[in-house]
Structure 1
């Protein structure tokens, strides 16, 4: 399993549109084969910045998602609202305490 972190910066006037779209799409993303976990975070100080955290069974599962029609549709509808270039990291989880 590994974690995908994506940082997204939005035009402040488009944030509500993004949040409404995410609400519609989140269950589809989470149900995609290989997606084990999905969360959305918002920066407390820079409120036009968001982060998605998703856990994937393996890199192939993420690549299958990234090549899917679902992702292509979501990304096409999301990127038009950006006010900065998105950043993404794929990381291995080493420790988790609950």
Structure 2
């Protein structure tokens, strides 16, 4: 399993549109085959910046999601809302304390 972190910066006037779309699609993303966890974060100092944080069983699962109609629909609605280039990282969890 690995973690996917995506940083997105939005035009301030487009944030509500992004949040509405995310809220409509979040269950579908979380229930996509191979996705084990999904969270959305908002930066405390710059409210235009959001992060998604998700756990995936395998890189093939993430790639299947990225090639899916679900992702293509989400991306088509999200991409025009950005005010900066999104950044993404796939990372392996080294330690976790609860």
TM-score, normalization by structure 2? 0.99
Alignment of 1:5-24 (within 5 A): 5-24=5-24
Once residues 94 and 82 of structure 2 are traced to their aligned partners in structure 1, the CA distance between those partners, rounded to angstroms, is 31
Aligned to 1:85: 85
Once residues 20 and 76 of structure 2 are traced to their aligned partners in structure 1, the CA distance between those partners, rounded to angstroms, is 15
Report the CA distance between 1:41 and its aligned residue.
0.2
Once residues 51 and 38 of structure 1 are traced to their aligned partners in structure 2, the CA distance between those partners, rounded to angstroms, is 11
Runs (4+) of structure 1 exceeding 3 A deviation are none
CA deviations 1:69-88 (Å, max 9, x no partner) are 00000001000100000000
Report the CA distance between 1:53 and its aligned residue.
0.2
Aligned to 2:57: 57
Once residues 25 and 86 of structure 2 are traced to their aligned partners in structure 1, the CA distance between those partners, rounded to angstroms, is 19
Aligned pairs, number: 98
Report the CA distance between 1:66 and its aligned residue.
0.4
Report the CA distance between 1:19 and its aligned residue.
0.6
CA deviations 1:42-70 (Å, max 9, x no partner) are 00010000000000001000000000000
TM-score, normalization by structure 1? 0.99
User: Where does the alignment leave 5 or more consecutive residues of structure 2 unmatched?
Assistant: none
Quote the RMSD (CA, aligned, Å): 0.4
Within the alignment, does 1:35 sit opposite 2:11 as a pair? no
- Find the residue that maps to 1:65 and give its secondary structure: helix
Aligned to 2:75: 75
